[in-house]
Amino acid sequence: MDKVARRQVALWLLICSAMVFGILVVGGVTRLTHSGLSIVEWQPIVGIIPPLDQAEWDETFEKYKKTPEYQQVNHQMTLDEFKGIFFWEYWHRVLGRLIGVVFLLPFLYFWLRGKIEPSLVPKLLGIFILGGLQGAMGWYMVKSGLVDDPRVSHYRLTAHLSLAFLIFVAMFWVALGLLAERARSAHGAGLRQLQRIGFWLAIVVGYMVVSGGLVAGIRAGKAYNTFPLMNGHLLPPESFIIDPWYLNFFNNMALVQFDHRLGAWLLAFLLPWFWWKIRSAAVSSTARRVATVLLVALFVQIGLGIATLLLAVPVGLGAAHQGGAMVVLGLLLWLNHELRLAPAAGRTT
């Protein structure tokens, strides 16, 4: 696989990664505007065409009227108001299909032209399969809100969100590997320690994604809208009122929000320490720059989280906070990848 082919494949994967970021933000707006249950059917092919005339709009609206969300929450909604929520969900689904096409067609082209090395093919096929599972998980999530309770399962929502991040991680990491022009290196105890710290920080960010999905799913951001304490408490006294006790970690607004805050506090202390260690280590100048940008991005993300909480989750801030999580994760992946490469020639301090 020559250098030009590697760069072409990497660029394609970066474009797909950017599209995943885009669908994450659109998905956040869809959730925050309560638009996700507006389309009550999953039609992967014909569903790409929206209603085109009044009769089709009336038919689509009638289907929505049979859902628990309309009957229990939106029973006074007009057709024009319905169109507003319909199109958020519609574009979310269209973007998902578009990502599939933008991934599959170039993959087949690169593969048939011999531009993808054989060892890379299973990884790319695995990413494509994850994309298909993500689409199925999205519908599985929507179905949970079309039965009795007009809310989707927070477990399914968290799984849907986590899969999006997993797909992004896989594509972005492979792209970074293709763009690397220096050999992998793990020499030196100090460098190996930085690599281990970077790995565990990525795990903490992953934990933040999962806990954030639970916060969104049970709408815990609408409660305890104070900071730094939670309505005057470090840990609210009602944090373990559900029996059995372990369900509080998934279903209790107080404990779910506390757990998400705890992850943010961990990152707020650990990442500056990690940045300081990188500044004094024999790493590339790129690693130093990425570490600095990552530090700034983290504190912007924390600021977004605090503002989102204090203002009881306005749509714009909530979507920005969700997108910010992927920005932080992407920068951390880039830094982790850079730390696994041999330092650039001439860089010894």
Q: How far apart are CA 274 and CA 291, in angstroms?
A: 8
CA-CA distance, 103 to 124, in Å (whole number)?
A: 9
Q: Quick one: tokens of 24?
A: 């994450």
The CA distances from residue 346 to 185, 222, 277, 283, 349, in Å, are 16, 52, 20, 11, 9
Helix (H, G, I), strand (E, B) or coil at 340: coil
Q: In this structure, are residues 89 and 141 in contact, taking their beta carbons and an 8 Å threshold?
A: no
321 annotated ligand-binding residue: yes
- CA–CA gap between residue 349 and residue 332 (Å, rounded): 21
The verdict on whether residue 260 carries a ligand-binding annotation is: yes
Closest residue by Cα to residue 252 from 126, 154, 118? 154
Q: In angstroms, rounded to a whole number, what is the distance separating the alpha carbons of residues 88 and 31?
A: 9
**Which residues, other chains included, contact 161 with Cβ-Cβ below 8 Å and sequence gap of 6+?**
24, 27, 209, 212, 213, 216
Please state, in angstroms and rounded to a whole number, the distance separating the CA atoms of residues 150 and 3. Answer: 52
| Cβ atoms of 291 and 257 closer than 8 Å | no
Which tokens sit at 215?
A: 């916060």
How far is residue 151's CA from residue 135's CA, in Å, rounded to a whole number? 19
The half-sphere exposure of 241 on its side-chain side, counting CA atoms within 13 A, is 8
Tokens found for residue 349: 């301090």
DSSP string, 269-306: HHHHHHHHHHHTSS--HHHHHHHHHHHHHHHHHHHHHH
Q: Are 339 and 287 in contact (CB under 8 A)?
A: yes
Q: Which residues are annotated as a binding site for heme?
A: 260, 321
Q: Which residues are annotated as a binding site?
A: 260, 321
